[in-house]
Chains A and B, each alone.
Chain A
Amino acid sequence: MKELSRKVLAGDIRAASRLIRNLEDQIPDTQLAMRELFTAAGSSHVIGITGAPGAGKSTLTDELIAAYRKRNKTIGVLAVDPTSPFSGGAILGDRIRMLRHSEDKGVFVRSLATKGSLGGLSKAVGEGIHVMEALKKDKIVVETCGVGQQEVDIINHAHTVVVVLVPGMGDEIQAIKAGLMEIADIFVINKADRDGAGKLYQEVLNIVAMAKKSGESSPTGWTIPIVKVESVLQPHAFAESVEVLGNKIEEHYQYLIKSKALVARKRRKAKAELNEALWAALFQPIVNKLNGDGEMEQMVDQLLNRETDPYTLAEEVARRYIKTVNNGKDGGK
Chain B
Amino acid sequence: MPNRTIRILIAKPGLDGHDRGAKVLARCFRDAGFEVIYTGCHQSPEQVAAVAIQEDVDVVGLSCLSGAHKFLFPEVAKLLKEQGAEDIIVIGGGIIPEQDMPALYEAGLKAIFTPGTTLESIVEWINTHVTPQV
Interface residues of A (CB under 8 A from B): 13-14, 17-18, 20-22, 24-28, 84, 86-93, 95-96, 99, 102-103, 108-111, 113
Least distance between A259 CB and chain B CB atoms (Å): 35
Known: A14-B84, A20-B56, A89-B31. A28 touches B47 (CB 8 A): no
Evaluate contact between A26 and B2: CB separation under 8 angstroms: yes
Secondary structure at the B interface, as helix, strand, loop or mixed, is mixed
Does B43 sit at the interface, judged by CB under 8 A? yes
Evaluate contact between A27 and B134: CB separation under 8 angstroms: yes
- Most interface-central of A18, A27, A28, A102 (chain B CB within 10 A): A102
Evaluate contact between A111 and B55: CB separation under 8 angstroms: yes
Evaluate contact between B2 and A109: CB separation under 8 angstroms: no
Please report the C-alpha to C-alpha distance between residue A93 and residue B37 in the assembled complex, in whole angstroms. Answer: 6
Residues of A within 8 A of B134 (CB): 22, 27
In the complex, how many residues of chain B place their beta carbon closer than 8 angstroms to a beta carbon of chain A? Answer: 32
Residues of B within 8 A of A14 (CB): 53, 56, 83-85
Please report the C-alpha to C-alpha distance between residue A84 and residue B35 in the assembled complex, in whole angstroms. Answer: 10
Please report the C-alpha to C-alpha distance between residue A22 and residue B132 in the assembled complex, in whole angstroms. Answer: 11
Residues of A within 8 A of B27 (CB): 91
Evaluate contact between B5 and A88: CB separation under 8 angstroms: yes
Evaluate contact between A89 and B35: CB separation under 8 angstroms: yes
B53 to chain A: closest residue by CB: A14
- Most interface-central of A86, A88, A91, A95 (chain B CB within 10 A): A91
Evaluate contact between A108 and B54: CB separation under 8 angstroms: yes
B40-64 contact mask (Cβ, 8 Å, vs A): 1 or 0:
1001001100110111100000000
Evaluate contact between B46 and A92: CB separation under 8 angstroms: no
Least distance between B94 CB and chain A CB atoms (Å): 19
Please report the C-alpha to C-alpha distance between residue A157 and residue B28 in the assembled complex, in whole angstroms. Answer: 33
Q: Which residues of B1-50 have CB atoms within 8 Å of chain A's CB atoms?
A: 2-5, 7, 26-27, 29-40, 43, 46-47, 50
Ordered nearest first, which 7 A-B pairs have the shortest CB separation? A17-B56, A89-B30, A102-B47, A89-B33, A87-B33, A88-B33, A102-B50
Known: A21-B7, A25-B5, A110-B55. A92 touches B50 (CB 8 A): no
Please report the C-alpha to C-alpha distance between residue A24 and residue B56 in the assembled complex, in whole angstroms. Answer: 12
Evaluate contact between B39 and A96: CB separation under 8 angstroms: yes
**6 additional contacts (CB under 8 A) given A26-B2, A111-B55:** A21-B7, A22-B134, A89-B31, A102-B54, A110-B54, A111-B35
Please report the C-alpha to C-alpha distance between residue A109 and residue B85 in the assembled complex, in whole angstroms. Answer: 18
Please report the C-alpha to C-alpha distance between residue A162 and residue B2 in the assembled complex, in whole angstroms. Answer: 36
Residues of B within 8 A of A90 (CB): 30, 35-36
Residues of A within 8 A of B26 (CB): 91
Residues of B within 8 A of A96 (CB): 38-40
Task: Give me 6 A-to-B residue pairs in the complex whose CB atoms sit less than 8 angstroms apart, sorted by A's number.
Answer: A26-B3, A27-B2, A90-B30, A90-B36, A92-B37, A113-B5
Evaluate contact between B53 and A13: CB separation under 8 angstroms: yes
